[in-house]
Structure 1
């Protein structure tokens, strides 16, 4: 989990190291002597660049898709608890009062407990206990009229969806790219930048600018993957806005 400051520091360090390596390479192996190898280096850079671009694009698409799914799942969970609160109106008085209280408590637990816990890489438990109590409340309903029976049936359906979405949210909060994928990304980025630095260019300033831009782009994409890969923990993360809205609607 990286903060905005840490992202900026990593970016600055990476760019500095890249420029220092290029300067050192020009002293140890002058660019005039590398020019004769440009055909081989250019072919190697083209293959490496294309392969690494495909890997980067695939990884970025994967983590962004997972981030979008986590965002949608959060909205669906918030909608489910709000629907339960509204359906409680059709239940007998004891269960109606209790279920409304539990729905409010669930939203408060998600906002005040779940999000901070997930942000700190821990699995929350408070909302799970409330979810169990909601099941007990609904299973204790003794419907005496068709309207109460219909409300109970719909409430059970929404509670089932709520439970499923909560479990999915916890799985998504714990998911991260496997270490081997990060190894491929980092090694591929390093090799690609080194290959770009080896190219023998007659214009030193233009070559330095090209390596600088190349390193900047790769580092930014890697930082984006690292942030989006943690949908509830990164600098860019899924907001609890849906539950804030649900809480506001319940209070109204």
Structure 2
């Protein structure tokens, strides 16, 4: 488990405070060290040049930070979509099984679908929060496949329904694999290096502006550091869609589980 993933074990509000305190504290220490060695009037004479370079770095880092945020936000939304689509396929398959002529065999597979959904909720989601996979859920899925292979009928209607059930099952497994892949994926190390280094370089440039009002420079530097810490916090929170307080929940599965159980008891 990466450092970013381990940080998500901390409550979100506390993690945000830790990041802000760390970046602001680091920036103020750096500012203090530079101001002790270089008088402000010397740095003030270079404000025009430093300002131009700072603006260039700011634009470049803004692009990098925007791209990084877009990456994790897109993956996060894609994961939520895969979860919703998988639930739709589970429910659709449950409905299609109700149309199959062999009611006894169909009800057995419907019961397996319900068990699978329960395992996703109670075992697979907690496992994904630890960046692991659930063997029991995988076995339940394999059990459904085994039951589907045993379905036989010579009637045309049954063949049509059976084909639709197989398509539901294939799509369901496809979206499940996408969900599991999203639980394992992490923000690339090269992007983390670029994001953190860019933040440190951007903050460091504020040390070399000369200002007669020291407190004004301290406040501006601290605010910049806090803003960058907040953006890094957002990336950490969205990078692991099944971890942390912003994680994708199993609510969709709970709703379709209630629907399937209600349909079976009616």
Which category of TM-score, normalised to the shorter sequence, fits these structures? over 0.9
Q: Which moved more, 1:125-134 or 1:184-193?
A: 125-134
CA distance in 1, matches of 2:93, 2:212: 70
Q: Is the 8 A contact 1:52 1:188 kept in 2?
A: yes
Match of 2:181 in 1: 171
Match of 1:14 in 2: 23
Match of 1:60 in 2: 69
Structure 2 residue 246 is matched with structure 1 residue 250: no
Structure 2 residue 203 is matched with structure 1 residue 193: yes
Q: Per-residue deviation at 1:241? A: 1.0
Q: State how 1:30-109 maps to structure 2 within 5 Å.
A: 30-91=39-100, 92-109=102-119
CA distance in 2, matches of 1:13, 1:218: 11
Structure 2 residue 241 is matched with structure 1 residue 228: no
Q: Is the 8 A contact 2:124 2:134 kept in 1?
A: yes
CA distance in 1, matches of 2:39, 2:94: 73
Aligned pair count reads 252
CA distance in 2, matches of 1:21, 1:180: 25
Q: Which runs of 5+ in 2 are unaligned?
A: none
Q: State how 1:131-146 maps to structure 2 within 5 Å.
A: 131-146=141-156
CA distance in 1, matches of 2:136, 2:220: 53
Q: Which moved more, 1:183-192 or 1:94-103?
A: 94-103
CA distance in 2, matches of 1:127, 1:83: 19
What's the TM-score, normalizing by structure 1?
A: 0.95
Structure 2 residue 195 is matched with structure 1 residue 181: no
Q: Is the 8 A contact 2:82 2:179 kept in 1?
A: yes
Q: Per-residue deviation at 1:224? A: 0.6
Match of 2:162 in 1: 152
Structure 2 residue 34 is matched with structure 1 residue 25: yes
CA distance in 2, matches of 1:17, 1:30: 20
Alpha-carbon RMSD: 1.4
Q: Is the 8 A contact 1:67 1:229 kept in 2?
A: yes
Secondary structure (helix, strand or coil) at the match of 1:129 reads helix
Match of 1:237 in 2: 247
Match of 2:225 in 1: 215
2:133 to 123, 134, 158: 123
Secondary structure (helix, strand or coil) at the match of 1:220 reads helix
What's the TM-score, normalizing by structure 2?
A: 0.90
Runs of 4 or more, structure 1, over 6 Å off, are: none
Q: Which runs of 5+ in 1 are unaligned?
A: none
CA distance in 2, matches of 1:232, 1:53: 27
